[in-house]
């Protein structure tokens, strides 16, 4: 009985779920993006970035709730007014993108072969 009470106390303690799943094959957190692009003042900053094949780019929507979209060949954030969008690029080359809400907002992700 005493053992059950102790186990119950441990499982309800803050962080217990994370500690209890340690070492049980839990999924690893995704790697941080290689590059972040901030969407602010109705612009992509920076508008051009370079990453290696297999790297992720993250767009951070920080424009006071103004709706934007990151759309390119094979990736699309949808129209959003906040939060983040992440895409991992695997094909080398230039990957242009646009905000469909503000067509003058354009950017390019240049992907170089890893190695």
Domains of the chain: 35-112 (2.60.40.420)
Helix (H, G, I), strand (E, B) or coil at 67: coil
| Run means of pLDDT, 10 residues per run, the chain, 115 residues | 42 37 52 92 98 97 98 98 97 97 98 87
What's the rounded Cα separation, in Å, for the pair 44 and 97? 10
Q: What is the pTM of this model?
A: 0.74
Residue with tokens 């972040």: 36
User: Sign of torsion, CA 39 40 44 46?
Assistant: negative
Residue 96 CB coordination number (10 Å): 13
């Amino acid at each position: 009985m005493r053992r059950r009470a102790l186990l119950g106390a441990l499982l309800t303690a803050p962080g217990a779920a994370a500690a209890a799943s340690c070492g049980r094959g839990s999924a690893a957190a995704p790697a941080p993006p290689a590059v972040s692009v901030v969407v602010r003042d109705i612009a992509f900053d920076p508008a051009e970035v370079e990453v290696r094949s297999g790297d992720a780019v993250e767009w951070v929507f920080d424009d006071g709730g103004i709706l934007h979209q990151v759309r390119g060949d094979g990736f699309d954030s949808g129209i959003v007014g906040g939060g983040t969008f992440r895409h991992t690029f695997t094909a080398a080359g230039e990957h242009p993108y646009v905000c469909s809400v503000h067509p003058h907002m354009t950017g390019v992700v240049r992907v170089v072969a890893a190695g």
